[in-house]
Amino acid sequence: MNSLKGLPLLPFHHLRHAFATLQIEAGEDLASVSRILGHSSLSVTADVYAHLTPVTQRRMAETVERILTG
């Protein structure tokens, strides 16, 4: 792909995907992300964007640790 000032030209959908993934990794609730993206249902957002990333895995592990250690 060609680039503009060193940045690759990507389909617009990639930006939406990055936005949704970053929001979910930051702990934003799925309903809010779904609403912002204009999806017809939560399941659309969950099926496409709510995959498990290293960031969300780490956050979940830290949550469990806090729960278990009081």
pLDDT in tens, 9-58: 888 888 899 999 999 989 899 999 999 999 999 999 999 887 888 988 99
Mean pLDDT, residues 2-12: 77
H helical segments located in the chain: 12-25, 30-37, 42-49, 54-69
Establish how many alpha carbons lie within 13 A of residue 13's alpha carbon, considering only the half-sphere containing its beta carbon.
2
**Identity of the amino acid at 45:** T
Q: What is the pLDDT of residue 8?
A: 80
> Per-domain residue ranges for the chain?
12-69
Q: What is the pLDDT of residue 7?
A: 77
Cβ neighbors of 64 (< 8 A, separation 6 or more) are none
* pLDDT at 4 > cutoff 70: no
Q: What is the pLDDT of residue 1?
A: 52
- pTM exceeds 0.85: no
